[in-house]
A and B are shown apart, each in its own frame.
Chain A
């Protein structure tokens, strides 16, 4: 016989419960009673039905979506274990849903809860989307309105890109594996820089593939950033939470994926103007500088030259005055020489000019006249008339008068 300590027994019982798979993943339906919030913020309550009751604890970290009240009919999810200090059997609750909610909804909440705890939804791990994607993979049904919308919007906004359609079913049992395969194929391709996973609106059942764990994990593991655009604005899927960006609809996903060409054209126009005005301004500044520099150069240089010009002018005018005086005295001496050549002066010294009368031809040789010609003799103060009485050229002694 072996004797155990209390602790050994409670620990053994706890380990037994914890290792049981079914007891670790329980959905339990019942009514809340004895609700109590501890100072630390944890919630303690009992769920019961006609046949029995179970103690429950909901730790503050679980953040229930529902505000619990006594008497509320709920379905809780959690694991059954033992609180060793008290030896109490209790349910460690991680999820509380109102009773009457469908199984899919419960599964959704549970998976969401689980993946959130694993960090699949962490904001910090969301990757930035490319501003100008070159090749966009689109995972959706090729015949759907969702795909047509996406293609139209990308074509209108930013036709510089290439769309690679990775066709898949988006509803039914084959949808989830199809989506996983399509994302995988796009990931294996070269140069794809963005993936859109999309599906049009539908019921929770219709959209179910996007709530499957395998799809969520594939999106999480994708090396290429993913935008989800599933259902309508009000539909949230697990894929939306894991994706790098959640778009409310397929069309919105396309709008988020690419820039708008009319915005880009405005940007280009703006840059063009900025370049033009910056260049013009630069030229004007240079022009102003040049003018300023010119203004500075002129003043001192000219004054220096002016002084030099003054000097030169003074020197030359002095030289010119000397030259003029010299020339004037030379002129005087020339004019006195000239007056000595005047024939009147010669006549004054006793010479006469003889002219034939009445023609006035000046006689310089004896042959110019014959005996009997009348002549006029010009003297310094008048003239004397006479007659030739003889001529050497006649062999006669010439006689005057």
Chain B
């Protein structure tokens, strides 16, 4: 894991870009098939991220609690 992992936002952005590129057309066959494959992978990954995520909660020090 770590910070290198692309964020959901980045993955969704890539997915949007692929859809736009394919829709515009004019790509060589090999390239458009590679994009198709990448798009399928990305959409799966995005859905998984949404399904599997669990909210993380961190708490800063409570100065008022300490006083008591």
A binds B: yes
Chain A residues with a Cβ under 8 A of chain B: 131-132, 134, 142, 151, 154-155, 159-169, 174, 178, 181-182, 185-186, 261, 264-265, 267-269, 271-272, 274-276, 278-279, 282, 286
| Distance between Cα atoms of A278 and B60 in the complex (Å) | 49
| Distance between Cα atoms of A271 and B39 in the complex (Å) | 9
Establish whether residues A268 and B46, one from each chain, have CB atoms under 8 Å apart when the complex forms: yes
Establish whether residues A163 and B56, one from each chain, have CB atoms under 8 Å apart when the complex forms: yes
Residue from the list B16, B25, B54 in contact with A282, Cβ < 8 A: B25
Chain B residues with a Cβ under 8 A of chain A: 7-9, 12, 15-16, 18-19, 22-23, 25, 27, 29, 32-33, 35-36, 39-40, 43, 46-47, 49-50, 53-65
Q: Which residues of B contact A286 (CB under 8 A)?
A: 29
| Distance between Cα atoms of A245 and B66 in the complex (Å) | 32
Q: Which residues of B contact A275 (CB under 8 A)?
A: 18-19, 22, 35-36, 39-40, 43
17 pairs across A/B with beta carbons < 8 Å?
Answer: A142-B59, A159-B55, A160-B53, A162-B55, A162-B56, A165-B60, A167-B59, A167-B65, A182-B60, A261-B50, A269-B43, A271-B15, A271-B19, A271-B39, A272-B40, A275-B22, A275-B43
Establish whether residues A278 and B64, one from each chain, have CB atoms under 8 Å apart when the complex forms: no
Known: A268-B47, A279-B32. A151 touches B57 (CB 8 A): yes
Establish whether residues A160 and B8, one from each chain, have CB atoms under 8 Å apart when the complex forms: yes
Q: Which residues of B contact A268 (CB under 8 A)?
A: 12, 15, 43, 46-47, 50
CB distance from B45 to the nearest CB of A (A): 10
Establish whether residues B56 and A279, one from each chain, have CB atoms under 8 Å apart when the complex forms: no
Q: Which residues of A contact B35 (CB under 8 A)?
A: 275, 279
CB distance from B3 to the nearest CB of A (A): 10
Establish whether residues A165 and B49, one from each chain, have CB atoms under 8 Å apart when the complex forms: no
The 8 closest A-B pairs by CB, nearest first: A278-B22, A132-B9, A275-B39, A155-B55, A167-B62, A159-B53, A159-B55, A279-B36
Q: Which residues of B contact A134 (CB under 8 A)?
A: 7
| Distance between Cα atoms of A154 and B25 in the complex (Å) | 38
CB distance from B60 to the nearest CB of A (A): 5
Residue from the list A155, A162, A178, A182 in contact with B58, Cβ < 8 A: A162
Establish whether residues B16 and A271, one from each chain, have CB atoms under 8 Å apart when the complex forms: yes
Q: Is the interface of B mostly helix, strand, loop or mixed?
A: helix
Establish whether residues B7 and A162, one from each chain, have CB atoms under 8 Å apart when the complex forms: no
CB distance from B67 to the nearest CB of A (A): 10
Q: Which residues of B contact A178 (CB under 8 A)?
A: 63-64
Q: Apart from A268-B15, A282-B27, list 9 A-B contacts with CB within 8 A.
A: A161-B56, A167-B62, A174-B64, A182-B60, A185-B60, A272-B40, A275-B36, A278-B25, A279-B36
Q: Which residues of A contact B63 (CB under 8 A)?
A: 178, 181
Interface centre among A159, A162, A174, A286 (most CB of B within 10 A): A159
Establish whether residues A160 and B29, one from each chain, have CB atoms under 8 Å apart when the complex forms: no
| Distance between Cα atoms of A165 and B36 in the complex (Å) | 42
| Distance between Cα atoms of A163 and B49 in the complex (Å) | 17
CB distance from A165 to the nearest CB of B (A): 5
| Distance between Cα atoms of A134 and B53 in the complex (Å) | 13
Q: Which residues of B contact A271 (CB under 8 A)?
A: 15-16, 18-19, 39, 43
CB distance from B44 to the nearest CB of A (A): 9
CB distance from B15 to the nearest CB of A (A): 5
| Distance between Cα atoms of A159 and B8 in the complex (Å) | 11
CB distance from B37 to the nearest CB of A (A): 9
Q: Which residues of A contact B46 (CB under 8 A)?
A: 264, 268
| Distance between Cα atoms of A185 and B59 in the complex (Å) | 12
Q: Which residues of A contact B62 (CB under 8 A)?
A: 142, 167
CB distance from B43 to the nearest CB of A (A): 4
CB distance from A254 to the nearest CB of B (A): 11
Closest to A285 in B: B25
| Distance between Cα atoms of A282 and B23 in the complex (Å) | 9
| Distance between Cα atoms of A185 and B61 in the complex (Å) | 10
